Structure 1
Amino acid sequence: MLAAGGTGGHVFPAEVLAEELRRRGYALTCVTDRRGTAWYSSRRRRALENLSVHAVVSGGLAGRSLFGTVAGGARLTWGIGESWILLKSLHPEVVVGFGSYASVPVIIASLLAGYPTMVHEQNAVLGRANRLLAPWVSRVAVSFAPPLYNAGTTVLHTGTPVRPEMQAIRNVPYVPPNDANVVRVLVIGGSQGAHIFSDVIPAALSRLPVALRTRLRVSQQVRVEDRAAVVAAYDGLGIDVEVESFFDDVQTRLVETHLVIARAGASTVAELTVAGRPAILVPYPHAINDHQTANARAMAETGGAWLVPQVAFTPEALATKLQTLFALPAILAEAAMCARRIALPDAAQRLADMVESLTGPDEGSRKPSQSFRAGWMGIRQRESQEYDPHSTT
């Protein structure tokens, strides 16, 4: 049983794991929130069209008022009850949470019912849901190096599973631009675009020398409401540009691109490293726990990207940075190599191995709920031994 909220950052890794587990012969169920059911039924999410999907009530406890906190607690309690009924009906071998509040009632019910549980964290810092659940579950899988986390338990570095089409371009080498060829730039802003990219990037490119502008081939993802304004901003600049609200062939564009400008969501960073493409990352400043900055920093510190805070993301600064990078293609090539070096392209297999390790009789008889119940009474029973996903024990 997989529990994931209705946003791409949580759903994409869950879908890839589901594909791998299905390949290994497991039957799968996904539990999500009301928003997630719409995501799974959309035409874009057809990869697992036969996946059994169930919705439960969920809600955070961090309300802005006493009423909000009480209402959130009531939703959580109701969701735990719904999850309990679902568990007793389906009897899963393992329950895997992928963060977001949609996973909380499912994992808590699983702990109380005695099912083996684990969570996967996509970002470089634990989100609120996984931070709550991490001390109690059987396993914690993370996407970045474990020293970045404070999970209260031993963690395993699996990476973030990426879509098969991204894995397919893993071995396509990066070819840096030269003085004679075109320079391809891909701008992606997450699942819904980024308004600041619509304002800053055309203005920055307009400041580049004409000789460089005529060599540019730009693919920019924008919000639907921004498209007309962005197209008008590029008019007359002499830039070959394609502006769309969604690209369904990002993998093809990544193969050809010389530089990516993007937010720093977990799936975006994972796909950039698997593809081995250099990027300018502009973290969304209002992300919970500022996790996008942590993601971008993890990639930038290895040399695979350049982190630019949104407050510093101005047309003047971006134009200067682009001129420098395009004039020194060896820097882009080095960044591409660094990005590729930190990738974990077998993340789905690592994560599936971890899930399978919880299906044995030893794990099933350990009754995590006993530790969970005791924990609420102030008794923390935690394991200290290091976990090896390939162990036969």
Structure 2
Amino acid sequence: MDNSSPLILLAAGGTGGHLFPAEALGVELIRRGFRVRLATDSRALRYSGLFTRDTIDVVPSETVRSRTPWSLARTGFLLAAGTAVSLNLMRKLKPVAVVGFGGYPTLPPLLAARLFGVPGIIHEANAVLGRANRFLSSRASAIATSLPGVLDRDPALAGKTITVGMPMRPAILAAAALKFASPDATGPLRLLVVGGSQGARVMADIVPGAIEKLEPALWSRLILTQQVREEDMARVRAVYDRLRISAELAPFFIDLPARLASNHLVVSRSGAGTVAELAAIGRPSILVPLPGSIDQDQFANAGVLAQAGGAIRIAQPDFTPDRLAAEISALAAEPERLTAMAASARTMGRLDAADRLADLVVKTAGL
């Protein structure tokens, strides 16, 4: 690509939840003739998507992990160092806009952009603003959200906020093209259980016991796929082997979008990316929000799909083998309910989010 093409700097924390939407926007911006680079933390160097090492700028940053003086001083020092690196990036790269996708690594590039008078746009994936985006919200030129209503109660910010949806990777867009195939009342029931880095343990603790409580007639119908940590693998597999359940267990599924599309029911945490992907693909789910987060973002995310009729939200204290078994049994007995949930979830999905966010970036940059 011509080095004279305008450059747009994307800033994101180094986890999939932040990197995937940044990648999706990057694909669309490149399609439109822009150059893109990624400012992030060192975790993203393991990432194997759109951005390669020569298009990634590592910016020092740190999350506020505790309120002790030592911890706050360390966080402040690293964020100051990151801002110095980001100021240098502004001088060297001369981006026409900086787009942040949440996480503390977005703070230095967005603050440096403001100091240089470069338009800054933030994208919020969750139903509530994360801490980094909340800090940046008054300083950003524009705010994009995945879900509606995030800033309706804040008139000062609502005027520069637009709901665009969650930019989706090509693999999700491909999976979204597959229609939901309702299970037969006596045929196979495909169940996918995913936990992510902070959820697989609770799934290992609860799901096998729930499966054991199902009617034996349902055991032969189940085709179960479950994300299980290595340290939990033996005990989970032992239960399914004893019940003669058809089960595929793995610590990680590289083809998760296709697996979401091919299953009748998903049991999962309710991170922003997961909820957006379930909505885009249109699949029924039982969502168990991660407890204890300051913003209760996963509880709010799950509430969006539950209110639409596309999901059942179960708070973790209520997520017991008995409760899960009852929900799975009821859904298995009513395939038409699963079909209705799939359709309801799909009404919340936006497949054109990357295009809409690109439009906002171009407009805000004055191009």
Is the structural similarity TM-score above 0.5? yes
Q: Mind listing any 5+ residue stretches in structure 2 that lack a counterpart?
A: 1-8
The equivalent of 1:98 in structure 2 is 101
Identify the range of structure 1 (279-288 vs 69-78) with the bigger mean alpha-carbon deviation. 69-78
In the alignment, does 2:295 pair up with 1:292? Answer: no
- SS at 1:172's partner residue? coil
Sequence identity (%): 43
The equivalent of 1:231 in structure 2 is 237
Please list, as runs of the form range in 1=range in 2, the aligned pairs for 1:23-172 lying within 5 A after superposition. 23-37=31-45, 39-40=46-47, 45-49=48-52, 52-60=55-63, 63-147=66-150, 150=153, 152-153=156-157, 154=159, 155-172=161-178
User: What is the TM-score normalised by the length of structure 1?
Assistant: 0.87
The equivalent of 2:26 in structure 1 is 18
**Structure 2 CA distance for partners of 1:85 and 1:150, relative to 1, 3 Å:** farther
1:20 is aligned with what amino acid?
E
Q: 1:255 aligns with which of 261, 265, 271?
A: 261
User: What is the TM-score normalised by the length of structure 2?
Assistant: 0.93
1:16 is aligned with what amino acid?
A
Cα offset, 1:251, TM superposition: 2.6
Kindly indicate whether the alpha-carbon contact (under 8 Å) linking 2:171 and 2:258 is maintained by their aligned counterparts in 1: no
**Structure 2 CA distance for partners of 1:252 and 1:70, relative to 1, 3 Å:** closer
**Structure 2 CA distance for partners of 1:19 and 1:323, relative to 1, 3 Å:** same
The equivalent of 1:309 in structure 2 is 315
Cα offset, 1:360, TM superposition: 2.0
Cα offset, 1:61, TM superposition: 5.2
Cα offset, 1:252, TM superposition: 2.5
**Structure 2 CA distance for partners of 1:263 and 1:112, relative to 1, 3 Å:** same
- SS at 2:295's partner residue? helix
> C-alpha separation between the residues in 2 aligned to 1:351 and 1:121?
11
* Consecutive aligned runs of 4 or more in structure 1 exceeding 6 Å deviation: none
Aligned length: 356
1:273 is aligned with what amino acid?
A
CA-based RMSD of the aligned residues comes to: 1.6
Kindly indicate whether the alpha-carbon contact (under 8 Å) linking 2:166 and 2:354 is maintained by their aligned counterparts in 1: yes
Kindly indicate whether the alpha-carbon contact (under 8 Å) linking 2:209 and 2:321 is maintained by their aligned counterparts in 1: yes
Kindly indicate whether the alpha-carbon contact (under 8 Å) linking 2:12 and 2:102 is maintained by their aligned counterparts in 1: yes
Cα offset, 1:265, TM superposition: 0.6
Kindly indicate whether the alpha-carbon contact (under 8 Å) linking 1:146 and 1:156 is maintained by their aligned counterparts in 2: no
